[in-house]
């Protein structure tokens, strides 16, 4: 898999988020965190797929902006889960690193599109 195939990469990331969440113990603390993580972690790929099929430059920029926000939110909930479930630390850190990379990638795309006159 190419690091530059963002549709595949964000899809695999979403699948890994789902697998992690399935494996976590469900408690009064973890259940809402898991729910939020599922939403934000899978939203990155869904919004990138929409951006890839955008109808306009503004639509593309908007969807990439959502990808940026969702990657930050995902990092936040992963951080909270590191505290709630320390035995999953290694798995969570791997996903945190990927979410950080996504944020950097989407920030770069957003800046380029914002200053560019071309959509892609």
pLDDT digits (tens, 9 = 90+) for 33-78: 999 999 999 999 999 999 999 999 999 999 999 999 999 999 999 9
- 27 vs 49: CA distance, rounded Å: 33
Is a pLDDT exceeding 70 seen at residue 18? yes
pLDDT at 2 over 60: no
pTM of structure: 0.89
Q: Three-state SS string across the chain, please?
A: CCCCCHHHHHHHHHHHHHHHHHHCCCCCCHHHHHHHHHHHHHHHHHHHHHHHCCCCHHHHHHHHHHHHHHHHHHHHHHHHHHHHCHHHHHHHHHHHHHHHHHHHHHHHHHHHHHHCCCCC
Q: At what angle do helices 89-115 and 30-52 cross, to 10 degrees?
A: 30
Which domains does the chain possess? Answer: 6-115 (1.20.1440.60)
Tens-place pLDDT, residues 72-93 = 999 999 999 999 999 999 999 9
């Amino acid at each position: 898999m190419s690091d530059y195939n963002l549709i595949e990469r964000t899809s695999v990331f979403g699948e890994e988020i789902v697998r992690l969440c399935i494996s976590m113990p469900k408690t009064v603390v973890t259940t809402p965190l898991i729910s939020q993580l599922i939403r934000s972690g899978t939203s990155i790929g869904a919004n990138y797929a929409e951006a890839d099929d955008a109808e306009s430059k503004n639509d593309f920029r908007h969807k990439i902006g959502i990808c940026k926000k969702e990657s930050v939110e995902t990092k936040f909930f992963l951080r909270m889960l590191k505290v709630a479930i320390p035995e999953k630390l290694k798995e969570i850190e791997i996903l945190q690193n990927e979410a950080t990379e996504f944020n950097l990638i989407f920030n770069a795309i957003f800046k380029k599109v914002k200053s560019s006159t071309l959509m892609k």
